[in-house]
Amino acid sequence: MKRLLWIGCLSYLVIGLAHVIGGSVLEQLIEHYGVTYKDGGQWIMNQFLGFLVGVLFAPALSSRIGKRGAVLAAMGLLALSQAAYSLLLPWGWMLAFAPIAGVGFGMTEAIVGAMIIDLMKGKASAMSKLETFFGLGALIIPITTAYLIGQHIWQLSFPILAAMSGIAFVMWLTISFGNLDEQIGLPPNDGRIGNERNGAERNTLVPGISENITTNKGSLIGYPNKSVPFLALCALFFMMYVGMEMSFSNYLPSILITRTGMSESGATAALSIFWGAVVVGRLFAGILAEKLGYAKYLLLTTIGAVLVFGLLVVIEEQGWMLVLIASSGLCFSGIFGIALVYANGLLPGMTERTTSLLVAFGGIGGALFPRITGWMMDRYHVQSTLWYIGVLVTCMLLILIMMLLLGKAQSRRSLLQE
């Protein structure tokens, strides 16, 4: 189990690199190709459209070729796309390979995340470890890219990621996980997927929550009808969160260059402050969430994020902006992973499907909102862009409050049914 967790962490490190590499070299790509921020937003959007496809098809693919086989396919596509990026092909080809990259890191995130949540019985600490390594990847690539920009060889960022994807591919291909090999290898021939066996086998992921097992006739995509409003709010929350995070992190160097006059390499390095804070926060996110309760943790950190972005809109001094950027990283650090565990706990027995669905909606946000952000960066002042991101965070808080209220009611119904 530990071996699987650690190779899962390596995989999340690689997809952390993949998520953030676009924002790290966006200024250089725009300058190299002579395109606009809107065009750069299209490139990022294409990656997340591929991400969406990868996430949605992850359960079906893993049911046919096994979880290990699906991860191998995903890592192979990611390595291929980054190798293509390394050639700095014409802009049209860069846009064409972007969805392939997205399929690679989207499918990896969905399958590995669901695998760990399922096999580790929904422990927030296990998911927090994965998210910590995602943050490490997102931290390493801006630092590396800043150095490469300073040396005028920024394009080497892509072959570095291609090599890391190749290493992860080889490890998934060759390492044995003992008794777990059968569970993550080729699926059985009875048509069952993971723990979703005819709707009759359920795990309790959140302490104190359990649910009687019934056949969900007449339900939407296998979920009980009473769970659909909660599921819809969870999906909307993930869409807003990932859209906001990708908008902020991908355009942060450009925002700092425009607003404070920071150098390109300095602004890219400043992105590492955000991801460094994310990594530090994720080291403690699982422990804090299990002590406070998942709902209270999500509420407090999201309120903190709203306050931080309110200050970012009005403060322009470079030093204080960097402090607030670090604070935003701490607030955001555990939201994605803890929200995923929380949602799965209230929708037990559907781990792979729920994880894929929520990550897919995150992909929609990651595709849509950075595109809008790029358009705003071209057309309006940076201040307007920060207001826009601040509004997204506020909307996210309102959705979370409704989601937690429905979750509390659903938990109460489950207890009454026992």
In angstroms, the Cα distances linking 96 to 47, 66, 92, 156, 260 are: 9, 28, 6, 20, 34
Confidence of residue 203 (pLDDT cuts 50, 70, 90): very low
Question: Each residue of 170-185: pLDDT tens digit?
Answer: 999 888 877 777 777 7
Q: Residue 253 has what pLDDT?
A: 81
Q: Residue 198 has what pLDDT?
A: 39
Q: Residue 416 has what pLDDT?
A: 57
Query: What DSSP assignment string belongs to 342-395?
Result: HHHHHSTT-HHHHHHHHHHHHHHHHHHHHHHHHHHHHHS-HHHHHHHHHHHHHH
**What are 137's two structure tokens?**
């990847």
Please indicate whether residue 398 or residue 282 has the higher confidence score (pLDDT). 398
Query: How far apart are alpha carbons 168 and 177 in whole angstroms?
Result: 15
Lowest mean pLDDT among 17-26, 192-201, 313-322: 192-201
Is residue 227 pLDDT above 60, yes or no?
yes
Is residue 207 pLDDT above 60, yes or no?
no
- Mean pLDDT comparison of 69-73, 215-219, 266-270, highest-scoring range: 69-73
Average pLDDT value for residue range 358-365: 84
Q: Residue 241 has what pLDDT?
A: 92
**What are 277's two structure tokens?**
């804070």
Average pLDDT value for residue range 12-31: 85
Question: Each residue of 275-315: pLDDT tens digit?
Answer: 888 888 888 888 898 889 999 999 999 999 999 999 988 88
Average pLDDT value for residue range 178-207: 51
Q: Residue 221 has what pLDDT?
A: 61
In percent, how much of the chain has pLDDT > 90?
Answer: 24
Q: Residue 66 has what pLDDT?
A: 85
CA 132 to chain centre: 12
Three-class SS state of 220: strand
Q: Residue 192 has what pLDDT?
A: 40
Q: What is the pTM of this model?
A: 0.72
Is residue 197 pLDDT above 50, yes or no?
no
Is residue 222 pLDDT above 80, yes or no?
no
Q: Residue 122 has what pLDDT?
A: 52
Question: Each residue of 90-120: pLDDT tens digit?
Answer: 999 999 999 999 999 889 988 888 788 777 7
Contact 41, 202 (CB under 8 A): no
The second-level CATH assignment, the architecture, of 2-178+220-417 is Up-down Bundle (1.20)
Cα separation of the two ends of the chain: 31
Is residue 79 pLDDT above 90, yes or no?
yes
Average pLDDT value for residue range 117-143: 77
Confidence of residue 188 (pLDDT cuts 50, 70, 90): low
Q: Residue 204 has what pLDDT?
A: 40
Contact 130, 337 (CB under 8 A): yes
Q: Residue 178 has what pLDDT?
A: 77
Question: Each residue of 148-172: pLDDT tens digit?
Answer: 888 888 889 899 999 999 999 999 9
Average pLDDT value for residue range 229-237: 92
Q: What is the mean pLDDT of the chain?
A: 82
Please indicate whether residue 368 or residue 187 has the higher confidence score (pLDDT). 368
Which secondary-structure segment (H or E) carries 275? Answer: helix 264-292
Listed by start position, the domains of the chain span 2-178+220-417
Which secondary-structure segment (H or E) carries 138? Answer: helix 124-150
Is 91 exposed, middle or buried, given 0-12, 13-18 or 19+ CB atoms closer than 10 A? middle
